Amino acid sequence: MAKCDICGKAVTNGNKISIARSHVSRRAKRTWKPNLRTVRIKVNGENKKMSVCSKCLRSAKLGA
């Protein structure tokens, strides 16, 4: 399952509403996935592969 190892951001579900929005009853199921990247991080002296979202990469929450 797609999930960030640092912040815990995961897949969310919801409804996609039509662009015209004139017919409110027209909805379709949709999933939003986090933008994950596989990164090698040094944890306690050993290299580890982790799935990290782009927001955590930009904000430098990796502890580097």
Q: For the full predicted model, state whether its pTM sits above 0.85.
A: no
Q: For 10-24, how does the pLDDT look when each residue is reduced to its tens digit (9 = 90+)?
A: 999 998 887 766 666
DSSP label of 7? T
Q: For 6-56, how does the pLDDT look when each residue is reduced to its tens digit (9 = 90+)?
A: 999 999 999 888 776 666 667 889 999 999 999 998 888 999 999 999 999
Contacts of 3 (CB under 8 A, 6+ apart): 9, 10, 11, 34, 51
**φ/ψ (deg, to 5) at 62:** -80, -10
pLDDT score of 24: 64
Do the Cβ atoms of 3 and 10 come closer than 8 Å? Answer: yes
Task: Tell me the domain boundaries of the chain.
Answer: 12-58
Q: Read off the tokens for 28.
A: 């379709």
Contacts of 17 (CB under 8 A, 6+ apart): 24, 26, 27
